[in-house]
Structure 1
Amino acid sequence: MRLEAKVAIVTGAGSGFGEGIVKKFVAEGAKVLIADRDEANAARVAEATGAQWKRADVSNAADVRAMVDAAVERFGALDILVNNAGIGHLPQPLEGLPEDEFDRLLAVNVKSIYLAAKEVVPRFKAQHRGVILNIASTAGVSPRPRLAWYNASKGWVITATRAMAVELAPFGIRVNALNPVAGETPLLKTFMGEDTPETRAKFLATIPLGRFSTPEDLGNAACFLCSDEAAMITGVAMEVDGGRCI
């Protein structure tokens, strides 16, 4: 029960890594609010885990404010924010991505972290404690060709994590990130362009441990970084990648 009595928000938790994080957090004693645009999947994960859910578009300031208010109203506190929501784009030459897709990519992967910080940081400062965990990617450390703007967005997340950690440490607030390699999530096909045995084999050949990351892998790592066991850890962008970035 490493997160007993803790209250957490996990964005984009209706599937994939976010779902794995919710399952682990609930199992470790946390009260969790799932925030997702996909109401059906958010409700499904909530029913399966005992968490609660609220529809939220993390790129929308009003939705983010309502999401944070809902967690505090329902649970009476807020201790942990996991910025997990994210999108990708299909592999393509960097000059080929349409402008509207670029704008949406930055809104979900970048602006959402800014909007969430504006809401939770004042609360965390007032209580002189809190944990923020940003889900970045190995793409921000070791970029893959034809995913230039996704790579760049996740590089931003890593830099933002370190900058936030330095600034917020005096207030008792820790900020870390996780860098997963591609996993068995709805985004896998987006990264690979197509999901075929040949494409999978080529991708897996770049991962020394020989498998994709799983929601359980991310849940375990997130639980550690958000628990008091990691009380001396801040500003870290930890790879959960089977050795890909070595």
Structure 2
Amino acid sequence: MSVLESFRLEGRTAIVTGASSGLGVAFARALAEAGADVVLAARRADKLDDTARIVRAAGRRAFTVATDIADPGQCSDLVDAAMTEFGRGDILVNNAGIATAYPATRETRHQFRSAIDTNLNGAYWTSQACGRVMRPGSSIVNISSILGLTTAGLPQAAYSASKAGVIGLTRDRAQQWGTRKGIRVNAIAPGFFATEMTDQYHDRYLETLASRMVLGRTGESSELAATLIWLVSAAAGYVTGQTIVVDGGVTIT
């Protein structure tokens, strides 16, 4: 197999959570372009149809499943549906997440739990369900954040804690499942990419972070998707338990 061929994903099935918008759409498109069929999961089932059309336009099969990953039962149902439809699950992209920003002295129990239940627990339950059916050679990628490694000026204790937890979860699952199951588990920690999530920020907020962006700009979703394709493909066959930071240099300043 040539180096370029090692990035291809023909014959594989990928599950992408949070596939109704933002980076989830970019990940689904890239996986399809690399040759994978894609199971698309999100709470907003109506918007999944748009992503499914993108996957099919790339010549691959798409299947949508309305899923709230904060519910462990729905995570199991998602994987069961994928196995029924395609008979296999080779790749899991734990992308679904919510961004929160509340002062620590005023954050409510519900607000804190919402971030943890979706960003951390959702990744836990979905990967657990996939780990039960994945074959050796399969791959899980958890989408963390640079806020699991550093701070960025907003009061985001719950969000940062959840994303730091994802990094710890990644290391543990890689250790547990590498030898015993032959499953690689890695994480990506994105910096600032233009999505619906960053649309919530005031323009001046991103301006204040510009000095920390060594490359002088926010990222393009295609750049992050390229990192994902590398991690889930045979090209990264000797990489597991790692958190790959894709942030334009923010964390080195």
Alignment of 1:129-148 (within 5 A): 129-145=137-153, 146-148=155-157
Partner of 1:113: 123
Partner of 1:201: 207
Which of 50, 72, 78 is the matching residue for 2:89? 78
Structure 2 distance, partners of 1:27, 1:5, is 13
Letter in 2 for 1:47: R
Give the aligned length: 239
Q: Which moved more, 1:18-27 or 1:52-61?
A: 52-61
Partner of 2:104: 94
Gaps of 5+ in 2: 1-6, 57-61
- The 8 Å contact of residues 92 and 127 in structure 2, kept in 1 or not, is answered as no
Partner of 1:67: 78
Tell me: higher relative CO, structure 1 or 2? Use CA pairs within 8 A at least 6 residues apart.
1
Structure 2 distance, partners of 1:54, 1:204, is 38
**TM-score, normalised on structure 1?**
0.93
Deviation at 1:129, TM superposition (A): 3.2
Structure 1 distance, partners of 2:205, 2:163, is 23
Structure 1 distance, partners of 2:105, 2:37, is 44
Deviation at 1:117, TM superposition (A): 2.5
Structure 2 distance, partners of 1:225, 1:166, is 17
**TM-score, normalised on structure 2?**
0.90
Secondary structure of 1:10's partner? strand
Partner of 1:11: 17
Secondary structure of 2:35's partner? coil
User: Is structure 2 residue 197 aligned with structure 1 residue 187?
Assistant: yes
Secondary structure of 1:245's partner? helix
Partner of 1:243: 249
Partner of 1:210: 216
Partner of 2:59: none
Deviation at 1:20, TM superposition (A): 0.6
Q: Which moved more, 1:92-101 or 1:159-168?
A: 92-101
Residues 74-113 of structure 1 deviation map (CA, whole Å, 9 limit, x = unaligned): 11111011100011113x3222212111111111011112
Structure 2 distance, partners of 1:94, 1:16, is 27
Alignment of 1:155-234 (within 5 A): 155-170=164-179, 171-190=181-200, 192=201, 194=202, 196=203, 198-234=204-240
Structure 2 distance, partners of 1:184, 1:214, is 7
Secondary structure of 2:239's partner? coil
Residues 103-158 of structure 1 deviation map (CA, whole Å, 9 limit, x = unaligned): 1111101111221132111212xx33321100000001112341122111111001
Structure 2 distance, partners of 1:199, 1:128, is 44
Deviation at 1:72, TM superposition (A): 1.1
Structure 2 distance, partners of 1:208, 1:96, is 34
Structure 2 distance, partners of 1:178, 1:76, is 27
Secondary structure of 1:177's partner? strand
- The 8 Å contact of residues 213 and 247 in structure 2, kept in 1 or not, is answered as yes
Letter in 2 for 1:215: S
Secondary structure of 2:112's partner? helix
Structure 1 distance, partners of 2:176, 2:129, is 16
Structure 1 distance, partners of 2:237, 2:108, is 43
Deviation at 1:164, TM superposition (A): 0.9
Structure 1 distance, partners of 2:241, 2:63, is 29
Partner of 2:69: 58
Letter in 2 for 1:42: L
- The 8 Å contact of residues 43 and 67 in structure 2, kept in 1 or not, is answered as yes
- The 8 Å contact of residues 16 and 39 in structure 2, kept in 1 or not, is answered as yes
User: Is structure 2 residue 166 aligned with structure 1 residue 153?
Assistant: no
| Identical-residue share of aligned pairs (%) | 32
Letter in 1 for 2:35: G
Partner of 2:41: 35
